Structures are given as C-alpha cells and as structure tokens.
Amino acid sequence: MTTPNSKNAERLARVAASLKKRHAAEKRFRFFGVLASLLALSFVAIFFVSILSRGLPAFWQATFNLDVYFDPAIIEVEPRPVPNPGESPADFQQRDYAWQSQVGMVNWNRILENSLIALRPDLEDERRTLRSLFTSGERFALRDRFIENPDLLGQTVRLKLLADANVDVWIRGNIDRDLPDAQQQLSPRVRELADAFFATDALQMNFSTALLVNPDSRSSPASAGLGGAFMGSVYMILVVLFLSVPLAVAAAIYLEEFAPRNAITDLIEVNINNLAAVPSIVFGLLGAAVFINYLKMPLSAPLVGGLVLSLMTLPTVIIATRAALKAVPPSIRQAALGLGASKVQTVFHHVLPLAIPGVLTGAIIGVAQALGETAPLLLIGMSAFVSTIPGGPLEQSAALPVQIYLWQGNELRNFFEGRTAAAIIVLLALMLSMNALAIWLRKRFETRW
C-alpha cells in the first residue's frame, strides 16, 4: 500500500528522470544553433577574406613614373585655334575639330618611348619593345592631356603612366615566372626590361584611380574601369527610385487602406505575392519584348534597365509597404476617424507617417535588390561592351553587376581576376552603405508609442 508521501516521492522521481532528457535536448538544440551560426559566419568570413585579398591589390597597378617631354619636334601642330571676330560658333567648332584631329595624328607613342629612352639611352634601337611596356590607352591619355592644355608643348612633365596589363601580371607574379617562353604572355626581352625598370623608381606599384573612374576597355585592359558601369547603375537606380517606389507605395496604400476586400483584390494580392517570386530573368524577357521590341526603346540604355528593374522591385516594395501599414495599430485609425477625419486624412496624417520607417526600409531594400540584379539586364542588351561613360539614361551603358559578369569572363584571366574582385568590393560597398542608410532612416523616423 502506498502512502501519499511515497506517491509524491515516486512522482518527483519520475519528473527527475525526465529532467535529464530535457536538459540534454536543450543542450543539443543550443549546440546545433551555435554550430549553424558559426558555420554561416565562417562562410561570410571566407567570402570577405577571399574577395578582399584578391580585390584590394587590384587598386594598385604597375605604373611608370616618368618625365614626359612634349617635344615640339614630334608634336608639329599649329596653336589651338581661337574664335575669329564675326566667325559663327559652328565654323569655329569645325576648325577646332580639325585641329584636334591633327593632334590625334601626332606620334604619341614616340613621346612615350622617348621618356623611357631618356632613362636608358642604350635602348634607342628597341622602340617597339619599349612601346609594348605601356598600356595602349596611355597614348590617347597623352593626346587628351595635350588637347586640354596646349601650353604643355615644349614642357617636361612628371606623369604616371599605366603599364601594360601583362607587365602588371608579370611583376605581380600572377603568372608562373618559370614557364617556358611559348607559354608566357610577354616576350623574354619585355620581361627583362620590365624587371629592369621595376628595379628602379621608374616602374612602381601605385594606387590607381583608373579602376574607379575609367570606362571599360578591351584594347587597353590596364586602363579598364568601372566608371561607365557605375554611372549606368546610378541612372538605373534613379529610375527605380522615382518610378517604382512612388508607384509601389501608392499601390500599397490603396490596397491596404482603401480597397474593399473582395475577390478582385484577393486576386491582386495573390498575384503581387506571386510576382515577387517570379525569376528576375523573366522580367528581362518582358522588358525585351515590351520596351525594346514593341516600344522601340534603345538597347543597352539605363532607362530601359531601370524600367525592367522597377517592374521587378514593385512587388517587393508593395509587400514591404503593406506590412508597414498593417503594423500601425488600428486604434490610431479609429482615433482619427472618430474625430471626424476622412479616410484620406487618416491615412496621410497618421497612418503613413507612422509607417514611414518601414516604407523607407522596404524601398531601400528593393532598390538595393535592383542594384545587384544582373539577369534581366543581360536580356535588354546591357551586357554589351560599352567603352564610354553614359551622359544620360538614354545612352548605352553597362551596369555594375553586369560589369562583374563581363570581367569574370574576360580572356585575360590573370589580370581581370583582381579587377573582378575589386568590382565586387565596389558593389558590396554600395550595397552595405544603402543598407546602413536604411537602418539610419529607420532609427531616425521611428516613433515610439
């Protein structure tokens, strides 16, 4: 026979027995949680270390520091024309262009070669080899410098001139120095000279802004930069910001606050949620079909890219805005309505201001998503090689993520690997600063109640 006391003891013993199991389960769960977090963090760490270790060095490029003599014997051009009295601007422009093309005919390579020969007079017979040390874009850079400032004629200026991409690769050791000649990117003599100049001050690894400000280039890989892609992305983001965000916010306000709940709005809601899940490349197809084939908009234009990305971000921003509106307590709406505010007044005086942090966050997340999107842009021609910086949203352009895609596929592998990683750093920095902005705005406008 069991007394109440022994019954109690038995019950406690049972509880105690089960305790061990429970604690074990808890510990196990925590362990897996920590493990998962550490795993995720280590992947992030690997990602950042790998990108930074490859990308950051790419901002330093093999650069010649040379005294360049703008030799009047080589630059045989007239002084730059000045407007004559009574001359029409068009006539003057024409004469100026004629002068510019004359400047273009100058043998700028010879000036580059001379600047090296000034250091090593013994190389007078190897002009071709010397020329190949410079990246081919530098002669045009010299030309542009002269057109900008014709007073340089006869002067000696200390300039930084980018070395050829292959020279950069050789000096960096990105190619195995022991490979046989047949497999090297440079001839033995060029390699020898590059090493010789690198041993002196003439050739150094210098920080170069080319990567940030120049447009893309194929003929002169060492001067290829992100400038064009960056501006293209900026134009697209502006289009998204001014098109997608207002539309999405307006749609969300209507659907959340005004639209009656019926079959049609249910259908719209389901469709918006589905659209958010549509693969982005499908939006690219839509853009190609509608904007380019039907509306005859230009190919490769940031405007079209922006339109396509707007379509893509609309559902995301609508959903985020609706969630933000939903989070505003209904008591605030009742308070305003009870005072005799109309529906519109209630929304714009009270509900929307309280939802602003959420709306802004949604908008910025949407824009950041658009900034990083690549697939739809490939289908509207933005993967084309564009060697200029676009001056407006209708001009041909690349975009940052597309530039990454293009560079990672470049055949000059050992040079562009670093540049690709550097482009990724730039894109990531943009993304992170946009997310930081979102957080700051959220904190700034948050109302506590």
Using CB under 8 A, list all residues that contact another protein. 260-261, 329, 331-342, 345, 349-350, 354, 447-449
Q: How many residues does the chain have?
A: 449
In the complex, least distance from residue 333 CB atom to another protein, rounded to whole angstroms = 7
* Closer residue to another protein, CB minimum distance, 177 or 261: 261
* Closer residue to another protein, CB minimum distance, 131 or 333: 333
In the complex, least distance from residue 341 CB atom to another protein, rounded to whole angstroms = 6
* Closer residue to another protein, CB minimum distance, 82 or 339: 339
The backbone torsions φ and ψ at residue 182, rounded to the nearest 5 degrees and listed phi first, read -60, -25
* Closer residue to another protein, CB minimum distance, 158 or 261: 261
* Closer residue to another protein, CB minimum distance, 338 or 391: 338
* Closer residue to another protein, CB minimum distance, 50 or 331: 331
Write the secondary structure of the chain as one string of H (helix), E (strand) and C (coil).
Answer: CCCHHHHHHHHHHHHHHHHHHHHHHHHHHHHHHHHHHHHHHHHHHHHHHHHHHHHHHHHEEEEEEEEEECCCCCCCCCCCCCCCCCCCHHHHHHHHHHHHHHHHHCCHHHHHHHHHHCCCHHHHHHHHHHHCCECCHHHHHHHHHHHHCHHHCCCEEEEEEEECHHHHHHHHCCCCCCCCHHHCCCCHHHHHHHHHHHHCCCEEEEECCHHHHCCCCCCCHHHCCCHHHHHHHHHHHHHHHHHHHHHHHHHHHHHHHHCCCCHHHHHHHHHHHHHHCCCHHHHHHHHHHHHHHHCCCCCCCHHHHHHHHHHHHHHHHHHHHHHHHHCCCHHHHHHHHHCCCCHHHHHHHHHHHHHHHHHHHHHHHHHHHHHHCCHHHHHCCCCCCCCCCCCCCCCCCCCHHHHHHHHHCCCCHHHHHHHHHHHHHHHHHHHHHHHHHHHHHHHHHCCCC
In the complex, least distance from residue 446 CB atom to another protein, rounded to whole angstroms = 10
In the complex, least distance from residue 267 CB atom to another protein, rounded to whole angstroms = 17
Which distant-in-sequence residues (6+ apart) come within 8 Å of 113 by Cβ? Answer: 127, 130, 131
* Closer residue to another protein, CB minimum distance, 341 or 412: 341
In the complex, least distance from residue 438 CB atom to another protein, rounded to whole angstroms = 21
In the complex, least distance from residue 256 CB atom to another protein, rounded to whole angstroms = 13
* Closer residue to another protein, CB minimum distance, 286 or 351: 351
In the complex, least distance from residue 45 CB atom to another protein, rounded to whole angstroms = 41
* Closer residue to another protein, CB minimum distance, 209 or 342: 342
Q: Could you give the C-alpha distances from 268 to 264, 308, 359, in angstroms and in order?
A: 6, 20, 20
Which distant-in-sequence residues (6+ apart) come within 8 Å of 183 by Cβ? Answer: none
* Number of other residues whose CB lies within 10 A of the CB of residue 297: 16
In the complex, least distance from residue 405 CB atom to another protein, rounded to whole angstroms = 47
* Closer residue to another protein, CB minimum distance, 50 or 345: 345
* Closer residue to another protein, CB minimum distance, 173 or 340: 340
In the complex, least distance from residue 271 CB atom to another protein, rounded to whole angstroms = 21
In the complex, least distance from residue 334 CB atom to another protein, rounded to whole angstroms = 6
CA 30 to chain centre: 39
* Closer residue to another protein, CB minimum distance, 239 or 354: 354
In the complex, least distance from residue 249 CB atom to another protein, rounded to whole angstroms = 20
Distance CA 191, CA 172 (A): 12
Distance CA 153, CA 73 (A): 10
In the complex, least distance from residue 440 CB atom to another protein, rounded to whole angstroms = 20
The backbone torsions φ and ψ at residue 9, rounded to the nearest 5 degrees and listed phi first, read -65, -40
